[in-house]
Every structure is written in structure tokens, then in C-alpha cells.
Amino acid sequence: MRCLATLLIASILVAVPCCERTGLHAPVAGVGGTMAFGGVPATGGAFAGGGAVGTGGATSASGGMSGSGGFSGNDQAGGMGGASMGSGGSSATSMPAGTFLSVSVSDSNDVGTSGYACGVRTDGTIACWGDNTYGEATPPAGTFTSVSAGASAACGLRTDGTIACWGDNTYGEAALPTGNFTSVSAGEDYACGIRADGTIACWGDNGLAKPTPPAGVFTSISAGVWSGCGVRANGTVACWGDNFDNQYSPPSGNFKSVSVGSVAACGVKTDGTLACWGANEGYSLGETTPPTGTFASISVSITAACGVRTDGSVACWGDSCGGDTYTPGHSPPAGTFVSVSAGSPDACAVNSADRSIACWALPFEWCGTTF
């Protein structure tokens, strides 16, 4: 997101965004092209290469993203509720049946990534769907209290307090810390968790010091694409990692929770109102201007943010440069929900009435030319 690539199309020089997800386009070879860790084997498709620019801005790859499942002419990504997605034809044409406690949608700075999601069922098992290039949609057995879908690897907190992760292992996401935890959050190429004593442990890619959290006791944590943030025991927010776009500059005051995307972050204050900070341009245009009202939770992605209001309804905002933000097909569904997760290119929420999962496509557009 911090650079531009130049394409010569029909003798017209066009600037398009490119992304710096170093190394994940050339993953470590493994059985079936996937890696598994946390003591659980995984299977899945090999890395899909041969990418080329397709019509309508779609990314085409052999066995990977297709034009119909990727970015269309209006830059809208194929969603989990609709188009075919990558990983050798992996599909997310329908959400899994059953009842769920929570859901988490992947968020990646790589615009060629199709996305996947995982949810914790009411019986504690995990179900995942969507792209399975690295085995990220193949969760381990067992019972869990929470799950977090990172860019190409996911982590879950087991009922015994230990952490299990699965999917890509290019950057050492397999080097799981020992001990018991109260929460876990998977970002891009790294993950962080809050230990039982309230301190934070991070592992994976150390670029931009992402796995280098501050000392102290925390109650909430979020691992984003370039940086992470956490809510300290005293209610203040601390951030670490990349600070090119002022992600290190959260507002003063006390917070209940925080969520980090790529270059923007938001938090729910103790009075239920929202505060956001970071960049307000590019894919993140509009993310730092949240709606008014009171919220129970917040989820920030690269391109948009969504929150559950205290009345249970879902509101989303951000990425509005194209003028078609949250038109039919982009808007959250009606009803009341217990949780929401904004990813790229989709968002999903758990319905409070029947505990089913609903997913919808988020706008995915580049606003402006440079950061």
C-alpha cells in the first residue's frame, strides 16, 4: 500500500497500487504447499503462481484468483457470500450451517488475496471457509473460546488456555509461546496474545518491530497489518510496530477495546463512543471518521471498519472514494448481531437471534495515488 506499480495498457500509462507483503508470494515449500502448527497437521493446495493482470483489474493466477472471483471492473472483490475464490478453486459460495459464538475474517495488505474466515461454533469447535492456499481454512480439532483469522494463518485460544495456529509458516508463526493465554490476535505474518498475567507475547515476522510489544498489563489486543495496539489495565491504549501513519498516536482517554487495520485503528471508549486514528487516505480513506452513537465492539480492516451498536445493529464506514460505498450488496444486513469482523474483501457477523453467520462484500477501492 506504500508504493505504486506502473502498467502500460493499450499505450496508456496507469498507476496502480502495489503492496509490500514481502515473501508471501514465495512461501516455504511444504507438503501440499501448506504448513500447520500448534501440534496439528494440515493439508491444502499448493501456492498458486503465474499471476497476471486480467480484465477489469482482476488478478488472474494459475489455480488461484480468477477474474470472476477477484477484483471486478468497479474494484469490488469477490465476496465470501458469492464468487469463486482462490486456492485451486476453493469456494466460499455459502457460509457454514450451524450456530456460532464468534467469527473472524482475514485481512491482508496483498490485494491479490481472496480471503477466508473462521468461526467458533457454539459447541466450541472451529469452522473455516474460503481460500485455503496455506491450509488456513483447515483448523485443528478440539474446543476453543476464540479464533482470529490473520492474512494467511489463523490462531485460536483453546479451552485449556493454550494457543493453536494453522496456515502459512513462512515467518515463524509456528514458534508458539508456551503457557496460558486469555486472548489471541493474528495479524499479517505475525500474531500476539495476552498471557494469563496480562503481559503480551508476540511471534512471527519481526519487520517493523511488529512482534515487539511494550511491557505492562493489558486487557485487550489487536494485531494489524503493520502494527499492533492494546488496551492497558488502566484503560489507555498503547501501540507498537509501524508508525508511518501515526498509528502510534491514539487519543487520550479510557478504552474498552481496540482494533487495528493497515494504517488506521479504532477503539471503543468506556462511554461506548468510537475514536479512530492513523491515515485517512488510500484504501483507508474514511476509516478514521467513525459514526456517532454508542458501540459494543469494533473491527477495522484495510479498507473499511464495522461496529456493533449497543442496540445490536451493525454500521460500516470507510473506503468511500468511488461514491458507491454501502450500496446494496455492500451494506451490512438488517437485524441484530453479537459480533462483527471486517476483513478484505468481506465482513461477517453473528446474528443474535439464531446465531447464524451473515457475510457481505465490503467496498475495496484505491483512493488517491500515494501515501
pLDDT in tens, 182-193: 999 999 999 999
Please give the average per-residue pLDDT across 237-247, as a whole number: 79
Name the most confidently modeled range: 5-19, 263-277, 350-364.
263-277
* Grid cell for residue 122: 457454539
Span of 96-110, 235-249, 253-267 with lowest mean pLDDT:
235-249
Residue 31 CB: number of other CB atoms within 10 A?
13
Question: Is residue 244 classed exposed, middle or buried when 0-12, 13-18 and 19+ CB atoms within 10 A define those classes?
Answer: middle
69 assigned to some structural domain: no
C-alpha–C-alpha distance, residues 227 and 247, integer Å: 7
- Whether 126 contacts 117, CB under 8 Å: no
211 assigned to some structural domain: yes
Please give the average per-residue pLDDT across 163-167, as a whole number: 96
pLDDT, residue 303, reads: 81
Question: Is residue 208 classed exposed, middle or buried when 0-12, 13-18 and 19+ CB atoms within 10 A define those classes?
Answer: middle
Confidence of residue 263 (pLDDT cuts 50, 70, 90): confident
Span of 44-48, 90-94, 222-226, 366-370 with lowest mean pLDDT:
44-48
DSSP annotation of 208 reads G
Confidence of residue 319 (pLDDT cuts 50, 70, 90): low
Q: What is the CATH number of the domain that holds 278?
A: 2.130.10.30
310 assigned to some structural domain: yes
203 assigned to some structural domain: yes
What is the extent of the structural domain holding 125? 98-361
Please give the average per-residue pLDDT across 193-217, as a whole number: 91
* Grid cell for residue 177: 509461546
Question: Would you say residue 266 has pLDDT above 70?
Answer: yes
Q: Smallest Cα–Cα separation from 334: which of 349, 355, 319, 322?
A: 349
169 assigned to some structural domain: yes
Sequence-distant (6+) residues with CB within 8 A of 15 are 4, 5, 6, 369
Confidence of residue 199 (pLDDT cuts 50, 70, 90): very high
Question: Would you say residue 325 has pLDDT above 80?
Answer: no
246 assigned to some structural domain: yes
Sequence-distant (6+) residues with CB within 8 A of 327 are none
Confidence of residue 242 (pLDDT cuts 50, 70, 90): confident
185 assigned to some structural domain: yes
Share of the chain above pLDDT 70, in %: 64
Total tally of structural domains belonging to the chain: 1
Q: Tell the residue number behind the cell numbers 500509462, with chain if given.
A: 13
28 assigned to some structural domain: no
Please give the average per-residue pLDDT across 246-255, as a whole number: 83
pLDDT, residue 358, reads: 94
